[in-house]
Structure 1
Amino acid sequence: MSGEQKHQYHLVEPSPWPALGSAAGFTLFLGLTLFMHEYPYSIYVLMAGLFMVLATMFFWWRDVVREAEYQGHHTPIVQIGMRYGMIFFICSEVMFFVAFFWAFFDSSLYPDTGVWPPADIVALDPFDLPLINTLILLLSGCTVTWSHHALQHNNRKDFIRGLVLTIILGAIFTAVQAYEYQHATFGFTDGIYASTFYMATGFHGFHVLVGTIFLTVCLFRGLKGHFSPEHHFGFEAAAWYWHFVDVVWLFLFICIYWWGG
């Protein structure tokens, strides 16, 4: 047949999601900007943009799962490209956090008042809740590695067990960080220390939440029989992302909580 595909690459079919995703992102950030400037009815624009982004993510990733699991488009050579894509994405995330560390060290190494933390700031004890969260994330890194190793050896029972434990540990980390924020003696607007602290740790907390959702989706897929020892990049990408979150937290704990406090 003249139209028969004679290569292993995946030529993506026309999709509405890139255009709709761009419109959704624009609506979300427009609503966020209007909301921060206290425009009337801006909350409705913000919520509409958030709903559009979440809907686009759901339907787009649904199509990707279908391409991988049922249509057989994710051939070994396609998976190589996806691995490079995930690696570059994680590199971009690294640079995202480098900006926060840069701001923190620029302020802490050359403080305007000559003292760091500022005299009116009571820093959090790094060996209290931050240390507990460090142990939680390190343990979650072990459980996700256990899950990955089990999947590679087609041990689906331990694959699910390790994944469930990782998700639980991620949820506990988020709860402990929320408790920590509630009992902090300084707010986001209380100077440069507070701003850099909450920006760095808050965005990391957001990444933990995203990673937990990522792994939860993998759990549901695993329960439906998705993934095999030879074909499981969706879960592998989630594991890579989770290890990235772990490493960033170690730098946050050492630099911001311990040294910076």
Structure 2
Amino acid sequence: MSTEHHNSTKYYVPDQSIWPIIGALALGLIAFGAGHYTIEYSNETKGFGHYVLGAGLFVLFVMLFGWFRDQINESRSGLYNAQLGESYKQGMLWFIFSEVMFFLAFFGALFYARMIAVPWLGGASNNAMTAEVLWPTFEAIWPLTTTPDGTTTQAMGWLGLPLINTAILVVSSVTLHIAHVALEQGNRGKLKLWLIITLVLGFTFLALQGYEYVHAYRDLGLTLQSGIYGNTFFLLTGFHGLHVTLGAVMLTIMAFRVFAGHFDKDNQFAFAASSWYWHFVDVVWICLFVFVYIL
């Protein structure tokens, strides 16, 4: 992910690598292990699912470490040129675009549930008879905190932890921008300081979101079994949390590289790409905060 030296005049074609195969193996183990662990947890039985899941996560870590190491060594050895740098930039932009499409699909599901499914089930469009058969006591309101079996939960409000997390993530985007500007100005001390502050804010966000989930399960009765509201809430916030985790990992790697003396104002694509991703995650959270928590 880096284009630190453009010494090569030819387009660099890397040697064959085992890391894609190792990565596929890791993802397979994670999927298999997570599936079995979920079944075992639901049935309150003991099995091997958590061991397979742990092995998959470990293999994934090894793959990421090895692949990143190879990429950094290639870049630092002067094997990359400007054309390859453009390829990396286009690749990162397309990757972020694909993530935008993911979130648009999930937001689309949320709006479909709120604007079409709920009014339809409530008797809209001359559908009163069907609604009476499917769910006689249904009330067309959102958040939908009552399930068909009569279980009632509480909705997650926007004040408190959600608002604090929003402020934390917005501030982290500002601190990362300050760090990026410091890199372009060649101010290494300022770069290190504000990058570390960004990491602290990012991991604080993740810790508070974990606490929010505990609060939802323990105090509000809001779980994955809490009907369509619970499903959409955990789907959107959890998927975003996964992206924050990925962004925090990327910035952590950037921090190690910064302290190792990597990057300068002319050759810093890996840092810039990580910044793009973090700002994207920040914008998505603001949309999520409005559509999921406030509206």
Q: What is the TM-score normalised by the length of structure 2? A: 0.82
Contact 1:117 1:123 in 2 (8 A): yes
* Residue 135 (structure 2) aligns with: none
Q: Do structure 1's residue 42 and structure 2's residue 49 form an aligned pair?
A: yes
Q: Which amino acid aligns with 1:224?
A: A
* Residue 60 (structure 2) aligns with: 53
* Residue 68 (structure 1) aligns with: 75
Contact 1:133 1:176 in 2 (8 A): yes
Q: CA deviation at 1:227?
A: 0.7
Moved more, 125-134 or 111-120: 111-120
CA shift in 2, pair 1:42/1:211, >3 Å: same
Contact 1:8 1:78 in 2 (8 A): no
For residues 25 and 73 of structure 1, what CA distance do their matches in structure 2 show? 30
Aligned partner of 1:150 among 163, 182, 191: 182
RMSD value over aligned CA atoms?
1.7
SS in 2 for 1:37: helix
* Residue 15 (structure 2) aligns with: 13
For residues 6 and 12 of structure 1, what CA distance do their matches in structure 2 show? 13
Q: Do structure 1's residue 161 and structure 2's residue 175 form an aligned pair?
A: no
* Residue 109 (structure 2) aligns with: 103
* Residue 93 (structure 2) aligns with: 87
Contact 2:9 2:81 in 1 (8 A): no
* Residue 136 (structure 1) aligns with: 168
Which ranges of structure 1 fall in alignment gaps of 5 or more residues? Answer: none
Q: Do structure 1's residue 217 and structure 2's residue 253 form an aligned pair?
A: yes
Q: CA deviation at 1:6?
A: 8.1
Q: CA deviation at 1:48?
A: 1.6
Encode CA deviations 1:200-246: one digit per residue, 9 max, x unaligned. 00111121122112111111110010111111111111101100100
Moved more, 88-97 or 111-120: 111-120
CA shift in 2, pair 1:199/1:238, >3 Å: same
Q: Which amino acid aligns with 2:88?
A: M
Q: Which amino acid aligns with 2:185?
A: H
Contact 1:211 1:242 in 2 (8 A): yes
* Residue 29 (structure 2) aligns with: 27
Q: CA deviation at 1:24?
A: 2.0
Percent identity over the alignment?
A: 40
For residues 167 and 238 of structure 2, what CA distance do their matches in structure 1 show? 18
SS in 1 for 2:106: helix
Q: CA deviation at 1:36?
A: 2.7
Q: Do structure 1's residue 116 and structure 2's residue 142 form an aligned pair?
A: yes
Q: Which amino acid aligns with 1:174?
A: L
Which ranges of structure 2 fall in alignment gaps of 5 or more residues? Answer: 1-6, 41-45, 122-137, 146-151
Contact 1:143 1:166 in 2 (8 A): yes
Q: Which amino acid aligns with 1:59?
A: G
Q: CA deviation at 1:128?
A: 2.2
Encode CA deviations 1:46-85: one digit per residue, 9 max, x unaligned. 222221111111101110111112x112322211110100
Q: Do structure 1's residue 257 and structure 2's residue 293 form an aligned pair?
A: yes
SS in 2 for 1:122: coil
For residues 44 and 53 of structure 1, what CA distance do their matches in structure 2 show? 14
Q: Do structure 1's residue 178 and structure 2's residue 188 form an aligned pair?
A: no
For residues 215 and 68 of structure 1, what CA distance do their matches in structure 2 show? 18
Moved more, 133-142 or 174-183: 174-183
Q: What is the TM-score normalised by the length of structure 1? A: 0.92
Contact 1:137 1:246 in 2 (8 A): yes
Q: When the two structures are aligned, how many residues end up with a matched partner?
A: 254
Q: Do structure 1's residue 237 and structure 2's residue 273 form an aligned pair?
A: yes
Q: CA deviation at 1:35?
A: 2.5
For residues 66 and 80 of structure 2, what CA distance do their matches in structure 1 show? 18
The structure with the larger Rg is 2
